[in-house]
Structures are given as structure tokens and as C-alpha cells.
Amino acid sequence: MILADKITNLRKKNGWSQEELAEKMQVSRQAVSKWEGAQTAPDLERILALSRLFGVTTDYLLKDEIEDEEFADDADRASVRRVSLVLANDYLAWREKAARRISAATLLCVVAAIPLLLLSAAAESPAPAVSENLAAGAGLAALLLLVAAAVAIYVSCGMQNVPYAFIDKEPFEAEYGVDGMVREKRKAYRPAYVKTNVAAACLCVLAPIPLFASMATEREFFMVLMLAVTMLLAGIGATLFILAGVRWASMQKLLKEGDYALRDTRKSRVKKTVSTIYWLVATSAYLGWSFLTCDWETTWVVWPIAGILFAVVMCLCNLLLEWEKN
């Protein structure tokens, strides 16, 4: 008995239509129809999901010579966490709240250096309002306080996310009604998601305009002030990306679509790790160069360069993952 016949028999034995099986597997009805018509075969992740859903062994599904159903142990089936409608609603509500907190923490990190920049420029002006030592001390204190506040927010969000951590790290099954509820929320949120991303992209692109405008004058404090405005605009753009992206990603995770599709979970983890390492290195390079040279008017170029190179790094990462897969 081939895989196509086994899927058909198991579906009918459970009294499910192709549409119901497709909903439980988070695939299209056409995909199920092609499986049962032997036009295509489910990939390994889908085979594992079918095994858990029907409670049969993967050997039974994959080996044509095994015609009698081999049932999996109850312990194996129980090990798969289930996401109820209540849990899914709680998770989405929490991620919406977390999006605001994480975006605020990110903005704090971006603007943390602004007080130091402004105080240092004020201390070096022709009629200094503060001494250099006071400017350096107060600026560094403000920087550390803002970064500490951001870190506290990140840690707090991480701890409060513990009850939902399995959604990111473990296989799970959504109970009946979850898929439809999430799709409705995603459909309602899509216009806001698109508008927020467009606004964020425009802010990031236009952020250097104040700095370029300051080049028309030789007043150093004004140039530093415009640099601070540029950093603030870029920070707001970054926070808008995060604000929209965190909520969208939470829905994609529950639906197992996009970067969170079953077949792409490893790819998503690799890209997330590479992205984290990349931006940590970029931030370290910016801070190291800035503090060693004290040339804050020049070191800001790290960020546009890092943004361009990030796109290149992600493209290379995708190519390597596809090459490995093939």
C-alpha cells in the first residue's frame, strides 16, 4: 500500500474531509488532494506531523511493505504540545504588548548616545556651558542609564514570555478554531502592518537629511544636534519595524507560515542567529570606533553601511541554506 492510499484511508477512518485534514496540517486542500492522488509526497516535516496527527508510526507511512497500521506510543503523542484557542489569544495579546516594550527598549538603545554627543559638543563650543569632565561624566551616566533601562525591559519580556516559549522551540498542534481565529486577526492587521512598514522604511531613508542639511553651516554644535535628530529618526524607524514585525511574526508562528513553516524552521533559526551575531558585531564596531576616536560626527556611517551589508549577508545566508538543502 503506497503513502497516498494510507493517507486517504487514515483520513476517512477519522471521518475528516480533505478540507478538514488540510486545516489540521496547515496546508491547502490542493496539497492534500495531490498527496492522495500520488502527484506529490509530503516532506519529512509533514510526514512527522501526519504521524502525530493520526497516531501511527513513520515506518507505517513511509514503507510500502507495511500494510497493517502501526500505532505510535501514547507517550510520543502526548509529548506534542497543543495550543488551545484561549492560549492562542493570550499569546497574541502578550506579543502585542511585548512589541511595544521591545520597540521602546530598542529606541532607548539607539538614543542612548545622544546626551553624550550633545554635552560633548556643548563643552567644546566657543562659550562652553559645561566643562569637558562634567559633559563626559554626565553623558556616560545617561548612556549607561538608558542602556540599563533597555536591558531591564528585554529581560522582563524574556521572563514573561516563558509560558509561550514552546511555540518558538517545540513542535505543537493547534486545536480546532485556532487557525481560523489567527487568520482573521492577521487579515484585520495586514493594512496596519503594511502602513507601519512603509512609514518605517521612509523614516530610515530620510533620516540623514537633517545631517546633510547641517553641512551648510560650520557650527559644530548645530551639526551634532542634527546628528542627534538623524539618530532619533532612524531609531523611530527601527522601532516601527519591530512594532509591526513582532505582532506579525506571532501570527505567522501560530499558523506555521512564512519563515515559520514546518519545512523552514531550521532556516529561520539559522537566519535569526546570523542576524543577532551580525548586529552585535556592528554595534560593537560602532561603539569601539566612536569611543576610541571620539569622532562621533564620522562614526555614524557604520549604520547605513551595516544596513546595506546586512541585506548582502542575508542573501548569502539564503543561498548557502538553499545549496545545503539541495
Q: Which residues pair with 215 in a beta bridge?
A: none
Per-residue pLDDT of the chain (326 residues; tens, 9 = 90+): 588 888 888 888 878 888 888 888 878 889 889 988 888 888 877 888 888 788 788 878 887 777 776 665 544 444 567 888 899 999 999 999 999 999 999 999 888 888 888 888 888 777 666 787 888 888 889 989 999 999 999 999 999 998 898 887 777 877 778 888 999 999 999 999 999 999 998 988 888 888 888 877 777 788 888 888 988 998 899 899 999 999 999 999 898 887 676 545 556 667 777 888 888 888 888 778 877 787 766 776 777 677 767 777 777 877 776 676 55
Q: Angle CA(107)–CA(113)–CA(119) in degrees, nearest 5?
A: 135
Going through the chain in order, the beta strands assigned E by DSSP cover 81-83, 172-174
CATH code that applies to domain 3-78: 1.10.260.40
Side-chain half-sphere of 297: how many Cα atoms within 13 Å? 16
- Could you tell me if 136 and 253 are in contact, meaning their C-beta atoms sit under 8 angstroms apart? no
Domain boundaries, the chain: 3-78, 81-259, 261-326
- Could you tell me if 88 and 60 are in contact, meaning their C-beta atoms sit under 8 angstroms apart? no
- CA dist., res. 11 & res. 145, Å (int): 59
Task: Provide the CA 285 distance to its chain's centre, in angstroms.
Answer: 23
